[in-house]
A and B are shown apart, each in its own frame.
Chain A
Amino acid sequence: MIRVLMALLAMTSLGVHAFEGTPQLSDPVKQRRYETLTHQLRCMQCQNETVADTPAKFAVDIRRQVREMVEAGKSETEVRQYMVERYGEVILFKPLWNAANSWLWLGPGVFLLGGLYVAWRILRRRGELLASDTSEVTDEAERP
């Protein structure tokens, strides 16, 4: 159990990366916002890493840009929008909630409900079959 919990923690924790030369922002709220954002933006140079996770040139530039915008009081949404306007939605790891993406968000739920419905039908049929089964149970040993 402990091991599972540790594994879960390891998977969900925001990596703590102290990049050289980037001191914490003085305002803890802004620091938090900066960390959240850099963990949500894709490094376009390295594709499957966030800009917080890599020392690539591109990520360094984006981190600085995010930092400056957060420092200037921009909200998370404003920074994300700024990035999407320039790089497209692909820069966000988490897809936006809009009509085109709705199937991404709703699809799993629809499949789950469909699965539950099928399971419910199978179980109900099995119940009915059992209830309507009037044949007597014969003991294997008594068979001729």
Chain B
Amino acid sequence: MNRFSTTLVVFGLVVIVFAVALSRAPDKQVVTSALIGKTAPEFTLPNLLQPGTTVTNTTLKGRWYLLNVWATWCVECRAEHSVLMDIQREGKVVVLGVNYQDKDDDARQWLLDLGNPYEFVAVDRDGRVLIDYGGYGAPENFLVNPQGIIVKKTWGLTPKSWLAIRKEFIDGVKP
């Protein structure tokens, strides 16, 4: 009996340890980034819409901006596009595009078809800037505050998720 109850207690402890560990385990769907709270890496890249010129995020200091990584091969990017248009219409946050591993002509056609929410579109043909941002695909979104700090990273945006982000970070906060 004594041995039986010892086994039972040990088993119970194991169950408790697993239950606690599993309930505390991070949700795999939640995107974390090593760069949250850090300064957004600076970049200078070719300008998609004015070939021959370059664009940079260094001029954006002092304003909220959303860095949106997109590509025409990315289905979720198409779904997310209308949210970006809404953000641009709201006018509180500047939307920057980073066009990742794409073809210039396809990208320009996309903007003609769906509208252009971007202040500018940077051309990241080989993903160097994406690596600097700890990104690994499209869509990815980085919200940067007026001090140039990354405060939030998400994958695709929906109207609902954008509302939540705007409420948490931007509404009520004077830039």
Contact = CB atoms under 8 A, between A and B. Distances in A.
A62 B88 CA distance: 32
Interface stretch (B52-60, B78-86, B109-117, B131-139): B131-139
Interface in A55-81: 57-58, 61-62, 64-65
Secondary structure class of chain B's binding surface, majority of residues: loop
A58 B126 contact: no
B130 A61 contact: yes
Contacts of B25: none
Contacts of A87: 34, 134, 136
B137 A88 contact: no
Nearest to A64: B126
Interface string A83-121: 011111000000000000000000000000000000000
B137 to A, nearest CB: 6
Interface residues of B, number: 15
B131 A62 contact: yes
A86 B35 contact: yes
A85 B131 CA distance: 11
Nearest to B138: A57
Contacts of B136: 44-45, 58, 87
A44 B133 CA distance: 13
Interface in A24-51: 44-45
Interface in B85-109: 101
A88 B33 contact: yes
B127 interface: yes
A88 B134 CA distance: 8
Interface of B: 32-35, 101, 126-128, 130-134, 136-137
Given A65-B128, A88-B34, 14 more contacts: A57-B137, A58-B127, A58-B137, A61-B126, A62-B131, A64-B126, A65-B131, A85-B34, A86-B34, A86-B131, A86-B132, A86-B133, A86-B134, A87-B134
